[in-house]
């Protein structure tokens, strides 16, 4: 049985370009902080990758801070942005942001998954804003694929808040799938993770806008002063090499429109599933989504059960974000969108990749439909 991997939002297969770059970096012995020739060779690998990542995300090279994960990047930003007060965000934010919050207020989320920030910025709220509050808006939701209009949202916030307020964007899922520029997003900081774009696990970056020195003044990891004092510790040269190569390849794919084909496959999949069941609910189908992501609910059929049954049939999918899909509970994101406890617990996510074929999605639809019929027969 040939397995079909349909969980790319959790992690992507390692690109050949990243593999080659990592193997080459393994032969470089120096510490990138050393001033001798071997150290300079290692430093050159790091700086080349910094430029490649900067080119993908649309920022200056000095705005890239290499970290070990997007979660670390988020924690670094939240701590540095004066969050002894609070971080204002929506309940659909990834745990990387949500779990680190000091929050007594959340943006309202419409049933589509799109934020309604204008609705939330009432007079009472604006009067309670502290100059050191931070505001977080994700670019794309990892569970539903729903996109936010980040430049518009941040512009709306910035026009109404003190200049000291900071704006954080979780852009982990959108980079490498759609054009998205840090430079024009309005964000003060954003996160990117290598393993979401075909790079290795354990390499990521915080993008921090020039002139925002919060991270340098209050770094999460202190010590040797690497990354211009913003994240101490010897850089993961091998992982960073793979990260950079993956970023360069991902930029080429986006520029070439490679994900348009994937979006067509996603639509073929949803049409096939819709034909199999008139009870299925496609989350966020009527708004802008990532091209590869389909989150759908079959009320009364637990998502965890579906994941296990499809796994045994050779398909890798998930019932939520990778950081929480191992937990048997209803999705916090879907509940925040207004779905019931039962509906939120009956959702699965299928996320396609560049190597996914039409045969893959149609075979998935056939097997899933067969499992659905058996479930309905048992429930009758």
- The last residue of one of the domains, among 254, 281, 300, is 254
Domain boundary among 197, 226, 254: 254
Digitized pLDDT (tens) for each residue of the chain, 380 residues in all: 789 999 999 999 999 999 999 999 999 999 999 999 999 999 999 999 999 999 999 999 999 999 999 999 999 998 888 655 678 888 899 888 887 655 556 677 788 899 988 777 766 566 666 766 788 999 999 999 999 999 999 998 888 776 778 899 999 999 999 999 999 999 999 999 999 999 999 999 999 999 998 888 888 888 888 988 889 899 999 999 999 999 999 999 999 999 999 999 999 999 999 999 999 999 999 999 999 999 999 999 999 999 999 999 999 999 865 554 455 568 889 999 999 999 999 999 999 999 999 999 999 999 999 999 999 999 87
pLDDT at 341: 94
Tell me: the pLDDT tens digits for 39-50? 999 999 999 999
Both tokens of 171, joined, read 């852009």
List, for residues 195-245, the tens digit of each pLDDT value. 999 999 999 999 999 999 888 888 888 888 898 888 989 999 999 999 999
Contact present, 139 and 286 (Cβ < 8 Å): no
* CB contact at 8 A, 87 and 99: no
pTM score over 0.75: yes
State how far the alpha carbon of 370 is from the alpha carbons of 195, 196, 363, 366, 377, in Å: 33, 31, 11, 6, 11
Q: What CATH number has the domain bearing residue 267?
A: 3.90.1150.10
Question: Do 262 and 245 fall into the same domain?
Answer: no
- Domain check: are 217 and 296 in the same one? no
Q: Do 125 and 210 belong to one domain?
A: yes
The reported pLDDT for the residue numbered 165 is: 82
Contact (Cβ atoms closer than 8 angstroms) between residue 214 and residue 82: yes
Q: What is the pLDDT of residues 83-116, one digit of tens each?
A: 556 788 888 998 888 876 555 566 777 888 999 8
323 is catalytic: yes
- Domain end, chosen from 254, 269, 294, is at 254
Q: For position 107, which CATH number holds? A: 3.40.640.10
Q: What is the pLDDT of residue 98?
A: 82
* Tokens of residue 60, six digits: 């200056």
Residues spanned by the domain of 221: 16-254
Instruction: Provide the strand spans (E) within the chain.
Output: 4-5, 64-67, 87-90, 106-107, 134-136, 166-170, 189-193, 204-208, 281-282, 293-297, 315-316, 347-351
Considering the domain architecture, whether residues 45 and 155 belong to the same structural domain is answered as: yes
Among 1, 2, 69, 6, CA closest to 319: 6
Q: Are residues 250 and 261 in the same domain?
A: no
Q: How many domains is the chain partitioned into structurally?
A: 2
Are residues 92 and 65 part of one domain? yes
Catalytic residue among 83, 89, 169, 323: 323
Q: Give yes or no: residues 359 and 303 share one domain.
A: yes
Same domain, 108 and 224: yes
Residues 305, 265 share a domain = yes
CA distance 284 to 42: 45
CA angle 30, 32, 34 (to 5 degrees): 75
184 and 201, same domain (yes or no): yes
Looking at residue 325, its pLDDT comes to 45
Same domain, 238 and 348: no
Give the C-alpha separation, 376 to 380, whole Å. Answer: 6
Q: What is the pLDDT of residue 131?
A: 66
242, 307: one domain: no
pLDDT at res. 105? 62
């Amino acid at each position: 049985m040939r397995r079909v991997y349909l969980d790319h939002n959790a992690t992507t297969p390692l690109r050949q370009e990243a593999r080659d770059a990592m193997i080459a970096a393994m032969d470089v012995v120096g510490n990138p902080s050393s001033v001798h020739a071997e150290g300079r060779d290692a430093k050159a690998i790091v700086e080349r990758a910094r430029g490649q990542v900067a080119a993908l995300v649309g920022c200056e090279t000095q705005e890239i801070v290499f970290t070990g994960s997007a979660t670390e990047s988020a924690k670094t930003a939240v701590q540095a942005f004066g969050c002894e007060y609070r971080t204002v965000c929506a309940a659909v934010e990834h745990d990387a942001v949500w779990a680190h919050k000091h929050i007594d207020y959340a943006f309202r989320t419409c049933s589509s998954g799109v934020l309604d920030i204008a609705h939330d910025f009432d007079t009472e709220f604006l009067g309670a804003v502290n100059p050191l509050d931070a505001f977080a808006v994700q670019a794309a939701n990892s569970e539903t694929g729903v996109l936010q209009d980040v430049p518009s949202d941040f512009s709306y916030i910035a026009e109404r808040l003190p200049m000291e307020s900071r704006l954080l964007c979780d852009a982990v899922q959108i980079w490498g799938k759609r054009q998205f520029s840090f430079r024009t997003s309005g964000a003060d900081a954003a996160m990117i993770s290598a393993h979401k774009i075909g790079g290795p696990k354990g390499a990521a970056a915080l993008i921090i806008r020039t002139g925002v020195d919060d991270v340098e003044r209050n770094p999460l990891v202190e010590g040797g002063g690497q990354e211009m004092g913003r994240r101490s510790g010897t850089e993961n040269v091998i992982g960073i090499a793979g990260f950079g190569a993956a970023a360069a390849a991902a930029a080429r794919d986006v520029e070439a429109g490679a994900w348009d084909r994937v979006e067509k496959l996603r639509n073929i999949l949803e049409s096939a599933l819709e034909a199999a069941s008139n009870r299925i609910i496609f989350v966020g189908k009527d708004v802008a989504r990532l091209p590869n992501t389909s989150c759908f609910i079959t009320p009364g059929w637990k998502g965890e059960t579906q994941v296990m049954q499809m796994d045994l049939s050779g398909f890798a999918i998930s019932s939520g974000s990778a950081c929480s899909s191992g937990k048997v509970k209803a999705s916090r994101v879907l509940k925040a969108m207004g779905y019931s406890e039962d509906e939120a617990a009956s959702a699965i996510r299928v996320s396609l990749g560049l190597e996914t074929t039409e045969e893959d999605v149609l075979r998935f639809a056939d097997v899933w439909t067969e499992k659905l019929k058996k479930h309905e027969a048992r429930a009758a």
